[in-house]
Amino acid sequence: MKVAVIGAGSWGSAIAWLLDSKGYVVRIWAREPEIAKGINETHRNAQYLTHITYSDRVTASSDISEVVSDVDAVVMVTPSIGVRSTAESMKEVLGVGYSREDMPVIILSKGVEGGTSYLMTDILEEVLGNPARIAALSGPNHAEEISKGLPSATTVAAHSPEVAHFFADLFATDFFRVYTNDDLTGVELCGAGKNVVAIACGIADGLGLGDNAKASLMTRGLAEMARLGQKMGANPMTYMGLAGMGDLIVTCTSQHSRNRALGEEVANGGTLRAFEERTHMVAEGAVACKTIKELAERKGVDVPLTNAVYSMLYENANLAEIMTALMARPQRAE
């Protein structure tokens, strides 16, 4: 089995290591030629998860057509804002009417596209076609822990049960348990929405508001996520599972969560731009609070927490005033 991993950031590096540990031949696409060169020469990614050492089965290239042309499955792990352009660059190999139009493709990126309000699989379906072969993976899966073989579980969602089980078998190990789900919309919306809630929880941590406040933000954030999911036709039970509650807990509480860390930094006077420049990482929640806000407005869904995070990141709103306003909202039944 040969697998292409599209993206050489932390999550891409971790999933390439997992696949390598199972004995698969792995082809990594790295946007930066120097990262690809380093992987080929030293068997390490010099920028992300530098403790990982790959076997000789893992090679890398910055030529995406080369990476995907001779594999059996494609795993996409690029930032959500780059999914469409990356898919376009693979179209002449993977698109309908081309040589590999039936190749299974799974997306690990989490988000909603600005302008179209498409989920990540919607983008792949539009660009590459053949929706039946496309899947999404989401769950409480910090790359740092996966890359150390620590116990984790996740969910693979797809329209086709066969494709869902194919990818479940591809990723499953004795430390990485994989469940399947047919609620593709719910799984993807959970993955995008929890990042916004994590920023709010990071802000609460930075302001020293305590555990009660953080638990309240997580709970009401989940309710907000579920309202939007219901409007989009998602299964409410998905929000109680790994892609929903599971991922929400870890993203809002973990030391590894870049979205929670962004919120804490903003609460202490930092900025989104400075955070991303310092970490060399995209905080997906900063993108999602824009795109989920847009989607919610289209669907007529009330998302006060998302709106608050947007105001704090992009409108220089006073953090304490925003938190006070959230607490002062009219009383209502839970």
Q: Any idea which residues carry the catalytic annotation?
A: 194
Instruction: Give Cα separations from 115 to 142, 290, 298 (angstroms).
Output: 29, 10, 11
Tokens of 28: 């990594």
Please, how many CA atoms are within 13 Å of residue 40, restricted to the half-sphere of its CB? 14
Q: How many CB atoms lie within 10 A of CB 37?
A: 15
The residues, ordered by sequence, that sit 6+ positions from 56 with a Cβ below 8 Å of its Cβ are: 43
> Is 118:80 a contact under the CB 8 Å cutoff?
no
Give how far Cα 209 sits from Cα of 28, 76, 214, 219, Å: 42, 37, 8, 16
Q: Which CA distances in Å does 106 have to 64, 170, 310?
A: 16, 11, 29
Give CA–CA dist 2/69, Å, rounded: 10
Sign of the CA dihedral running 199, 205, 209, 215: positive
Spatial neighbors of 55 by CB under 8 A, at least 6 apart, are: 20, 43
312 contacts: CB under 8 Å, gap ≥ 6: 203, 266, 319, 322
Strand partners, 2: 25
Calculate the alpha carbon distances from 55 to 10, 173, 322 in Å: 18, 18, 50
- The first and second tokens of residue 244, run together, are 């929903």
Round the CA-based radius of gyration of the chain to a whole number and report it.
Answer: 19
